[in-house]
Structure 1
Amino acid sequence: MEQLITPWDSDEILDDLYVPQYIEEMAQQVINQYDFKVNSMEVITTKADKGGLIWKINTSKGPKSLKILHRRPSRSLFSIGAQEYLVNVKKARVPPIVKTKSGSNIVEMGGKIWFVADWIEPLYQVSADIEGAKLLSNAIGEFHQLSQGYVPPKGAENASRLFRWPNAYKKIVRKMTWFKDVAKLYSEMPASRTILNTVDIFEEQAKKALTMLEQSSYQQMVSKGNKEWGLVHQDYGWSNGQMGPGGMWIIDLDGVAYDIPIRDLRKLITGSMDDLGKWDINWIVGMLEAYNEANPITDDLFEILLIDFSLPNLYYKNVKEMLIEPTIALNSELDSVVQRIVEIDKTKWPIIEQLRKEWRGGNRK
């Protein structure tokens, strides 16, 4: 019976680049199914808590990446199919998949999907300033435009988040009550008082955002269906959008899913504002205009973006870990983080209002 690949470092005590011997042996078996010789292998990153891994392999046919995808095989087939569609049909700047000797995109071993793709060189991160942010925004807009029309291959899951927005918003509203309950239960912890002093504000924001979503054209928009909207990356940022041959490349497509594309842009903008420590109208408008050049933002789509801005994403993202291990998470560091988020949040609302009044159809009024 074949050995299954299982997470090998759930306690995060091993070296980040440690790979179990049995997986190294599997890698050699996988490599034997390709028409190249491997001169060297370098572990680039591991998802040891989930059973995923990326090597850079130097081969007789140039540098490649060898990946073990940590998700269910049927889910991984969805992203592999998307990568092939973007390269072969849409000529997108995403790494081409290398086929096995038998002509397959993948090797299934250890209960996981393995695949090889070209290693694009040179790739480098763009500057962490407004100009870099514009390049990232334009690139993800192009990605969204090109991904429209994708149909997953036979045997793949239909990975879609398109219809899940209301439930996702409701989950955030619901968990605000849980944050309060846990903070009261662990009232002696350093961050508990700050959580209790701020959670009502963010709970109210989440409720209002949910109401706005329910009153918006969201249901009408999603009725167009998955294929019409195309794919979101879900983990897009400075490391997964990089400058390379011919322009910006988008890498690590393992988590792509159908969704309203503006979700990627929202994450990119709010992450940038977090890095800045405040909301900045010039950054945001620059990013919107750069995105709009590649994938026009309709008024309905812009309204959804403003609603998603209104959700307390930054607060929720940083505080939710307290539900798993409150005695560890509710520390003085979280206390400082929440206080910082409160200050950033104060700068958000005037700018959302300014955007609502001034930005439409790709330009400031």
Structure 2
Amino acid sequence: MKEIVILPWEEREDIKVFVPDYVNALAKEVIKNYSFQVNTMEVIATKPEQGGAIWKISTSKGPKSLKLLHRRPTRSLFSLGAQRYLVDVKGARVPAIVKTKHGQDFIEAGGKVWFVAEWIEPLTPISKDLEGTKQLCYTLGQFHAQTRGYVPPDGAEIASRLYKWPRKYEKMITKMDWFKNLSQAYNHMPASSTILNVIDKFQDQARTSLNRLNQSKYSDLIKIGNKEWGLAHQDYGWSNSQMGRNGMWIIDLDGVAYDLPIRDLRKLITGKMAELYKWDVTWVREMILAYHKANPISPELYEVLMIDLSLPNEFYRFMKDLVKEPELFLNQATSEVITALIETEQSKWPVLKAIQNDWRK
């Protein structure tokens, strides 16, 4: 019998959350490895382009989640080990992994890793006002503190972004050239002129940030090492940090990696400022202070946070789709989004200037 290999699939317009029949069939085979009876299975979310999915399953032992992880099996072992460490060693509020009949944390099938975890309910999203956002930042700080000391299991791929910050900045600078060249090649499209008016400025901004990073204490900070810094979530936000029993719970740990923890905080800040359409000094200062209360930020790490905030992060994140389909991307709607991003970016500099010396006091 030919071994099944799970491949990426296309979404279907007639089905809200689609999983191919052969993947559903394999999911039912995987479930047979567990010591509970399944009443119902419902697909909750998918990553069709990578070949991943999540089911909520009603069982004889309560609600569970079944996850098909889209990453390489060795990479998935790293995140599963982290989830086990956080629950068993740190007592963190993350979903506990359910072992198979034979005491395993996962099943490998279709060339990918599957696992079952407790389904935490009820979970309620917290408010997106300042108080709710501060709570989200405090919970993030707690999470980072709890991940310190993690050592992955044998056979797991070491997922680390700790040493790659300069490379990430360099990649941004390089891709700015791509954005510029594509906009010039499609200069008849509505968004091209908007991009060309600002791309050089943003690229210079990224170069300045790279120079500042290289002159900072970054190289000294990373010498502390992966284990001592712990993990960053890499996809943290309101959807995967919610209020449940006994406090805030963090879910979806599939992408965790060793990193300077303030990367998660930076993403949270820049994303929130984009939602507000302007940078607000009170919001940024209070978000950082809330995080600091749970996981203290040293002056040296604060400097790196300021440098990372100085990058044109939201512009770059939005622009990455240009490379895939330039003719579809460079439309009037894109031009309007970029104009809004430019205005938001301009409001950033007075805020960063106001808070840059906070940690020197």
TM-score tier by shorter-chain length is over 0.9
Aligned twin of 1:360: 359
| Identity %, equivalent residues | 56
Measure the CA separation in 1 of the matches of 2:86 and 2:12: 35
Amino acid at match of 2:359: R
Post-superposition Cα deviations, 1:316-353, rounded to whole Å, max 9, x if no partner, equal 01112111211111111110111001110111000001
The structural deviation recorded for 1:200 is: 1.2
The structural deviation recorded for 1:8 is: 1.4
Structure 2 counterparts to residues 1-365 of structure 1, below 5 A: 1-9=2-10, 13=13, 15-357=15-357, 359-360=358-359
> Partner of 2:114: helix, strand, or coil?
strand
Mean CA deviation greater in 11-20 or 271-280: 11-20
Contact 1:191 1:334 in 2 (8 A): yes
TM-score by length of 1: 0.97
Measure the CA separation in 2 of the matches of 1:48 and 1:211: 39
> Partner of 2:356: helix, strand, or coil?
helix
Measure the CA separation in 2 of the matches of 1:100 and 1:2: 22
Measure the CA separation in 1 of the matches of 2:245 and 2:356: 37
TM-score by length of 2: 0.98
Measure the CA separation in 2 of the matches of 1:259 and 1:347: 28
Contact 2:12 2:18 in 1 (8 A): no
> Partner of 1:30: helix, strand, or coil?
helix
> Partner of 1:41: helix, strand, or coil?
strand
Q: Indicate the RMSD between aligned Cα atoms, in angstroms.
A: 1.1
The structural deviation recorded for 1:16 is: 3.7
Contact 1:16 1:46 in 2 (8 A): no
> Partner of 1:67: helix, strand, or coil?
strand
Post-superposition Cα deviations, 1:128-159, rounded to whole Å, max 9, x if no partner, equal 11111111101110010000010110111000
> Partner of 1:92: helix, strand, or coil?
coil
The structural deviation recorded for 1:163 is: 0.4
> CA 1:269–1:134 in structure 2 vs 1: closer, same or farther (change >3 Å)?
same
Mean CA deviation greater in 164-173 or 22-31: 22-31
> Partner of 1:55: helix, strand, or coil?
strand
Post-superposition Cα deviations, 1:287-338, rounded to whole Å, max 9, x if no partner, equal 1111011100110110000000001101101112111211111111110111
Contact 1:206 1:312 in 2 (8 A): yes
Measure the CA separation in 2 of the matches of 1:115 and 1:305: 35
Contact 2:97 2:118 in 1 (8 A): yes
Amino acid at match of 1:346: Q
Post-superposition Cα deviations, 1:42-79, rounded to whole Å, max 9, x if no partner, equal 11001111110000001111100000000000000000
Aligned residues: 360
> CA 1:325–1:25 in structure 2 vs 1: closer, same or farther (change >3 Å)?
same
Measure the CA separation in 1 of the matches of 2:21 and 2:343: 48
Contact 1:76 1:254 in 2 (8 A): yes
Structure 1: stretches of 5+ with no match in the other structure:
none
Q: Write out the 4+ residue segments of structure 1 that deviate beyond 2 Å after TM superposition.
A: 11-16
Measure the CA separation in 2 of the matches of 1:154 and 1:201: 46
Measure the CA separation in 2 of the matches of 1:7 and 1:308: 33
The structural deviation recorded for 1:15 is: 2.7
The structural deviation recorded for 1:22 is: 1.2
Contact 1:16 1:45 in 2 (8 A): no
> Partner of 1:198: helix, strand, or coil?
helix
Measure the CA separation in 2 of the matches of 1:159 and 1:14: 37
Contact 2:57 2:64 in 1 (8 A): yes
Contact 1:86 1:94 in 2 (8 A): yes
> Partner of 1:44: helix, strand, or coil?
strand
